Amino acid sequence: MLLPKFEYDEPRSIEEACETLRTFGETVKPLAGGTDLMVNMKKGVVRPSRVLSLKKLKTCNRIEKLDATIRIGACTLVAELIQNQVIADTLPALQAGAKALGSPLIRNLATIGGNICSARPAADLPPALLVYGARVVLHSQQGPRTVLLKDFFKGPGQTVLRGDELLTAIELDRPPANSGAGYLNLGIRKVQDIDIINGAAYLALNPRDGTIEKVRVALGAVAPTPIRASLAEQALQGQKPSQDLFVQAGQAAQQDCTPITDFRGGAAYRKAMTSVLVRRVLETALKQIEK
Amino acid sequence: MKRIIHIRVNEQEYELAVEPNLTLADLLRDELGLTGTKKGCEMGDCGSCTVILDGRNVNSCLILAIQANGSSVQTIEGLETEAGLHPLQQAFVEKGAIQCGFCSSGMILSGKTLLDSNPNPGEQEIREAISGNLCRCTGYQKIVEAVADAGSDYQKGQGGE
Ligand SMILES: Cc1cc2nc3c(=O)[nH]c(=O)nc-3n(C[C@H](O)[C@H](O)[C@H](O)COP(=O)(O)OP(=O)(O)OC[C@H]3O[C@@H](n4cnc5c(N)ncnc54)[C@H](O)[C@@H]3O)c2cc1C
Ligand code: FES
Ligand code: FES
């Protein structure tokens, strides 16, 4: 399968990359792992006349543990999210999302930035990132701006990223001691599968009375973008965690989603499974606190 | 416009002029004649194009040759030495893990990446490690057994010498 012709750039700094984006506008496409872009270029869905490889942007493939935050470079490999000790210790739901993505071969190419920017409704990393309250750093020639991930997605393949901007990093607050989070996905096969639904939950408990002080629930493949399940969150806020409460939250989450019917699953099936998934992922998050 | 790249393939250095739209799979097969790397789907789904790039197993159909500039690549042709077949190749032959052979080079390279970091993997770890490599013939069981067998050879080799 031949790829159409294009020019190739390999900038060595974010500034140089932004300059190219500015100069060539919509005709240029950033290339990270290529597991999405190369496939789309082969299919002829995307036809850039210039490809901007992010491979040499050394500052973009680091995971940094700062005082109050964790900063993940946009070009960090999904495989690295699994192997990295900081992620394993502090962001287990993100690690679980990374483990669910593709196959070992794909994870050795795919990046976290590419997973976010491709903006697929069923992508494996956004739900965990959403429940950790992630922010994305977008860079243009004017400098960086920071956007909440929950405001980043606009529709399937659509984001607020401008043509002259690059996603350079993902920032997350370090979760407090009394918190836990989880990620679960439902697919037809165990690996290399587009999920029927997926979801993540984050719970932080009040240390004095054990009630839910902070909660975030996020779902994928049930709407045009990954979403926060606000009705489920409302049902949980301020309550004491229990099996019954998690069942109620699961039911509430059905009203948060607007799934479609496709060959992977019907809308009614997706809604029904949302309840189950939300209940289970809340249990996972709670278990994590107890650990 | 063609660009010059420097690439190390199976311990040999090459300087090559490539078009930006040439994939690494096509470079290996068409320019270097290393047809042990197969092309099945060309979309990242099947793993028959697996190579080891700077220590990681990857789908060479999804990588541009120009992106591999400065990198080191290992293909199935690089495994055999003067001493004979690599323990994994030998185990695949002995276990009957090869039928049509189309998946074998990818399976062996994914198996090798696993054994290099973990010479004593459990069955689940082996199945996980080859989960991006599809086989339409063997039903996987013999492949899993071959990787496990080669793992014990790795350990013997390390301990015995
Ligand atoms: C066989 C196969 C299985 C897969 N399975 C899964 C799966 O299970 N779960 C899942 O979520 N996904 C899956 N995917 C999709 C894909 O692998 C992931 O979304 C991956 O994370 C994309 O990352 P990438 O670095 O390869 O992106 P690329 O393909 O390099 O880029 C994707 C898009 O984002 C843009 N982009 C990339 N980085 C940046 C940046 N820093 N700034 C601005 N724009 C940028 C590119 O221009 C392009 O439009 C699969 C793909 C394949 C081929
Ligand atoms: S040919 Fe590369 S994955 Fe199938
Ligand atoms: S032996 Fe034929 S595809 Fe695996």
Which pLDDT value is given to residue B77?
98
At which of A173, A195, A217 does a domain end? Answer: A173
**Tokens linked to A17:** 């990359």
Domain boundaries, chain B: 3-78, 87-155
| Contact map slice: A 185-214 vs B, CB within 8 A | 190-192
The counts of H helices and E strands in chain A are 11, 14
Burial of A240 per CB tally in 10 Å (0-12, 13-18, 19+): exposed
- Asked if residue A31 has pLDDT above 50, the reply is yes
Of A125, A121, A132, nearest to A33 by C-alpha is: A125
pLDDT (tens digit per residue) in A88-146: 999 999 999 999 999 999 999 999 999 999 999 999 999 999 999 999 999 999 999 99
Please choose, from the candidates B109, B129, B69, B155, the residue with its C-alpha nearest in 3D space to the C-alpha of residue A9.
B69
Domain finish residue from A173, A205, A222: A173
Asked whether residue A1 is domain-assigned, the answer is no
DSSP code, position B92: H
> From the CA of B66, how far away is ligand 2's center (Å)?
18
Per-position b or e across A52-81, b if 16+ CB within 10 A of its CB: bbbbbbeebbebeeeeeebbbbbbbbbbbb
- pLDDT for the residue B153: 79
The answer to whether the Cβ–Cβ distance between B20 and A190 falls below 8 Å is no
Q: What's the number of domains chain A is made of?
A: 3
Model confidence at B161: pLDDT above 70: no
Q: Residues A42, A103: one domain?
A: no
Superfamily of domain B87-155: [2Fe-2S]-binding domain (1.10.150.120)
Q: Are the beta carbons of A147 and A160 closer than 8 angstroms?
A: yes
Contact A191 B23 (CB under 8 A): no
- Which of B42, B67, B131 is the closest to A103 by Cβ? B131
Average pLDDT of span B33-42: 98
Structural domain contains residue A2: no
* Tokens encoding A153: 């997605």
Q: Is there a single domain that holds both residue A188 and residue A167? A: no
Its pTM surpasses 0.95: yes
Is residue A248 assigned to a domain? yes
ipTM surpasses cut 0.85: yes
Using 50, 70 and 90 to split pLDDT, how confident is the model at B155? Answer: confident
State the CB neighbour count (10 A cutoff) for residue B55.
12
* Domain B3-78 class, CATH top level: alpha beta
Asked whether residue A73 is assigned to any structural domain, the reply reads yes
Q: Which among A89, A137, A143 is positioned nearest to A112, based on CA atoms?
A: A137
- pLDDT above 90 as % of chain B: 93
- With 50 as the cut, is the pLDDT of residue B159 above it? no
**Ligand 3 atom 3: residue of nearest CA:** B135
Distance A110 CA to ligand 1 centre (A): 6
How many whole angstroms from B11 Cα to the centroid of ligand 2?
A: 24
Pocket of ligand 1 (CB under 6 A): A 29-37, 39, 54, 74, 78, 101-102, 106, 109-111, 113-115, 117-118, 123-124, 161, 166-167, 192-193; B 44-45
pLDDT in tens, B47-57: 999 999 999 99
Identify the domain containing residue A207 by its residue range: 179-290
Strand extents, DSSP E, chain A = 7-9, 28-31, 50-53, 63-65, 69-73, 135-140, 143-148, 153-155, 158-159, 166-173, 179-186, 197-205, 212-220, 227-228
Mean pLDDT within B25-45: 98
